[in-house]
Structure 1
Amino acid sequence: MAAADRGAASTLARKARAASAYGATPLEHLRRTRRLLIESDNLLGPRQVVATVHEHIGVIQELRKDAKAADRRDLAELQTQYGEFLSWLYQDLGNNEQAGYWLDRAFQWSHTVGDDELTSYVMARKAQLAGDMADLAEVVDLAEAAQRMARPRSRLAAVARTYEAYGHALRGDASESERAIDQVRDSLDGVAADPTPWGSWLNAAYVEVHRARGLEVLGRHDQAADAFAGAIRLLPDGYHRDRGVYMARQAVALAGARRPEEAAVAGGHALAIAEDTGSGRILTELARLDQELADWPRLPEVAEFRRALSDSLLHETEQDA
C-alpha cells in the first residue's frame, strides 16, 4: 500500500473508531457501510463505489492491527466480505484480471476466519467468474469443489450447481446442463428457508437467466431469447443494472435467432442502462450484438442501435482519456 493510501486508510480508520459517537461500534459502522455500498452498486453500478470499497479494506486492515482476538476475527470476516464485493465490482466493470485477484485474496482471507460457508461462497464465485471468462478448464471443477464444501441440499450448493450447469453448456454438454438446472429449480422451495446470508438472491429469475445463457451458447437462440424474456419479467424491482445485463444477453440471442429488429430494440434499452451504470458486462454483450447485427446494416432499428453504441463508446473513451 502506498504512503498516501496508508494515510487515507488511517484517517478513515479514525473515523470508523469514532462511530461510537453515533451509537455504533467500528465493526457495525463498516457492516452498515457495506450494505449501503451494495445497494448503491445495484442502482448506480460499480464505478460509483469501487474506490470506496478499496478504502474500506484499508480501514479494516488498520483496525485489525490493534484489535482484540474476537474483534480481529470479526474484522477478518468483514475484510473477506469486502474483498469478495470488490471482486464483483471489477467483474461488472469487465476487468476480469482484477476480479480474479480479489477473489483469490478473499478466498485466502476466508480460510483465516474459519467460516466454511463463506469459503464455499467465494469458491462458487470463482466458478461464476470462470463461466463469464468461458474458462472451459476451470468452471465445472470450481463449481463442483464449491458444492463439496457446501452443506448438502443447502442454498450454497444450489448456487454452485447453477454455475456448474452453465459450465456444462459451455463445454457443449446439453444433457448435463439441463439436468443440473432442473435440479436447482426443484431445490428452490427447499433452500428458501436456509439461514445462510450467502446467495440470498438465488431465485427463479436467477436460475432462468443461467438456463437462458446455457441455451444461447448451445446455439438454441430462440429458446434462449424466450428464457431471457421470462427472467426479465421475474426480476424484482431495484435490480436496474442486472436488468440491463439480461436485456443485452436477450438481444444477442434474438440476433442469433435472426430477429434483428427485436434484437436492436432490446440492445438500445440495455445501452441506456449501461450508460447509467457503467457496467462492463452490459457493454461486452452489446459489442457481441454489434457484430451479430452486421448482416443487417440497412434496417433502421439496427442502424440506430449501432450508431448509438458507437457514440456511447466514443464518449466513454474521451472520458477515460
Structure 2
Amino acid sequence: MLRQLRLARGLTLATAASRVGCAESLMSQVETGHRGLQPWLATALDMVYDTGGTITALADTTGTGPSDNDDGGHGATDEVVLVLIPGRRASIPVSRRELLAALGIGAVGGSLLGALQRALADVVPDEEVLAELEQTLTGLKAAGRVMPPARLIGPLTAQVALIEALRRRAPAPLRDQFTVLQARYAESLSWMAEEADDLNTALYWTDRAEHWAHICDWRAMVAYAHVRRSMLAISYAGDGLAAVEHAQLALRIPRVTARIRAMACKQAAYGYALAGQPDASRYALDETAALLVPSDDAGRHDLPGQNSVADADLMAIFTATCDVYLGAGDRVIDSLSPRMTSIGTGSQRSGAITAAKLAQAYAHAGEPGLACGLILSALDTAATVDSLTTRSELRRALPTLARWPGRDDVREVTHRLAA
C-alpha cells in the first residue's frame, strides 16, 4: 500500500525519503516488508502523502488482533482498539466489545469511552477535524483494495469510536455531518467484515449505518443498507430470491438518488439470474442502465458503495455477472477479458472477483484449462487480500468443472476450493 501511495504521487524512493527525512534504504525495506513501519515514520509519511492519519492508524494497531481465548475472530472477545487523538501522537485503548454494545443501543454509559472523552476534552469538533476524519476514511478504503480486510477492521472501528465521542459535542450545524461520516465508516466496516467471512459483524455494521442514516435523514444510505443485505444474501447463501426482496425494499424508499436505485436494480438482476429467471433479470438490467445515465450524483465519492471500478465498466460487469449466473460463456468472455487489466488496476479485490466470474464463463464455454488457470490465479490474489466474495464466486464454477473429473487441474482446483 505504501508503494502504491508513493507511486500515485509521482515520487521516487529517493524523493520520498528526502521529504520524510530518512535513508532511501529504510524506505525500500519498509515498502518490501523487510522492516516494520515505526510510528514516527508512519506520521511523517502521512504528512508527505497527505493521507490524513491513515498510515498512522494502520501502523498503530498493537493489541487489536484476536485474543488467545477468542472464538475465531468473530467479534465475541474483549479486544481493544487504539483510538488516535487528532493532532497528537497519543492513542487511547477502547474495549471493542463495550463499544459495539453501546453503539448498538445508541448510549454511552459507565466507564465506556470515559478515558477517550477526557482525552478529547480540548479537541474542538469543527470542520477541520471533520475533514481530517474524512481523509482518513478515504485512505482506509484505498488500503482495503490491496490489504486483507481483517487488517482494516481495527483502525476503522477506532475511527467510529472517535466520531461517536466527537459528534455528541459537535455544534448543531455540524452534528449531522459527523453522523453522515459515521454511517460511511460503518458501511466500509460492513464490507470489510463480509470479505473477512464474518456475517454477524457485517450485518451489525450494516444496521449501524442504517441507524445513523435515519438520524440525519440520509435516505441514500438507508436504501443502500438494503442493497448491502441483498449482497450478503448472494455472497453467503447464493439465495437469489432473498437478494431480490432486499433490493425491492431499497427501491421502495422515496427520494433516493438515481445511482443508489441503480445499485438496487442491479442486485435484483443478479438475484433473478441466480433464481433462473432470465426475463426478469434482463428487465432489471435495463432499469439499471437507465438509472446509470450520467446525472447530478455521477462521479460523487461521498455516496454509499464502492467506487473502485470505473463507470464505463460497470454495466459490462453487471451484464456479464447476470449472464454467467444464467450459464453463459462466450459473450461473457468477450465482455470481461478486455477489461481485466483496468479493473485489477483499480482494486486487487475487484480484479479477483471479476476473474472468478470470467473463470465461470470459461467453464460454461467448455474451456476447463483456461477456467482452472484463472481460478488458481484468483485464489492466490484472494489469499493476499482475503476476499470471501472471490471464493464464493470461484466455487460457482465447480458444478460445471465437474464435467471433467479426470483432469489434474480440475482436481487441484476442486481440492484448493474445498480447503
TM-score between both structures, scaled by the size of structure 2: 0.64
- Which of the residues 170, 179, 186 maps onto 1:76? 179
> What is the Cα deviation at residue 134 of structure 1?
2.9
Structure 2 match to 1:218: 326
1:207 aligns with 2:315: yes
Structure 2 match to 1:48: 151
Q: How many residues align?
A: 309
Structure 1 match to 2:264: 160
| 1:30-179 matched pairs, under 5 angstroms | 30-132=133-235, 133-149=237-253, 151=255, 154-179=258-283
Q: Structure 2: how far apart are the matches of 1:286 and 1:45? A: 18
Q: Which amino acid aligns with 1:81?
A: R
Structure 1 match to 2:59: none
Query: If each structure's helix is expressed as a fraction of its own residues, which one has the higher value?
Result: 1
Q: Structure 1: how far apart are the matches of 2:119 and 2:404? A: 57
Tell me if structure 1 keeps the 8 A contact 2:241–2:275: no
Structure 2 match to 1:182: 286
Q: Structure 1: how far apart are the matches of 2:221 and 2:177? A: 13
The range that moved more, 11-20 or 129-138, is: 11-20
Q: Structure 1: how far apart are the matches of 2:120 and 2:128? A: 8
Residues 283-315 of structure 1, C-alpha deviations (whole Å, 9 max, x = no match): 2333444565345354354355456x37x95xx
TM-score between both structures, scaled by the size of structure 1: 0.81
Q: Structure 2: how far apart are the matches of 1:19 and 1:305? A: 54
The range that moved more, 176-185 or 155-164, is: 176-185
Structure 1 match to 2:349: 241
Q: Structure 1: how far apart are the matches of 2:156 and 2:117? A: 13
> What is the Cα deviation at residue 5 of structure 1?
5.5
Instruction: Describe the shift of the 1:267–1:97 C-alpha distance in structure 2 as closer, same or farther (beyond 3 A).
Output: same
Structure 2 match to 1:255: 363
Residues 43-72 of structure 1, C-alpha deviations (whole Å, 9 max, x = no match): 224122112112222222222343333333
CA RMSD of aligned residues (A): 3.4
Greater RCO (CA < 8 Å, at least 6 residues apart): 1
Tell me if structure 2 keeps the 8 A contact 1:206–1:231: no
Q: Which amino acid aligns with 2:270?
A: Y
Structure 2 match to 1:317: none
Instruction: Describe the shift of the 1:128–1:4 C-alpha distance in structure 2 as closer, same or farther (beyond 3 A).
Output: closer
Larger Cα-atom Rg = 2
Tell me if structure 2 keeps the 8 A contact 1:45–1:277: yes
Structure 1 match to 2:407: 299
> What is the Cα deviation at residue 102 of structure 1?
1.5
Instruction: Describe the shift of the 1:228–1:100 C-alpha distance in structure 2 as closer, same or farther (beyond 3 A).
Output: farther
Q: Which amino acid aligns with 2:356?
A: A
Q: Secondary structure at the match of 1:149?
A: coil
Q: Structure 1: how far apart are the matches of 2:377 and 2:192? A: 22
Overall identity of the aligned pairs, in %: 26
| 1:270-309 matched pairs, under 5 angstroms | 270-289=378-397, 292-303=400-411, 305=413, 309=416
Residues 222-269 of structure 1, C-alpha deviations (whole Å, 9 max, x = no match): 444444435535527221111011111221332233321011111122
Q: Structure 2: how far apart are the matches of 1:292 and 1:145? A: 33
The range that moved more, 232-241 or 165-174, is: 232-241
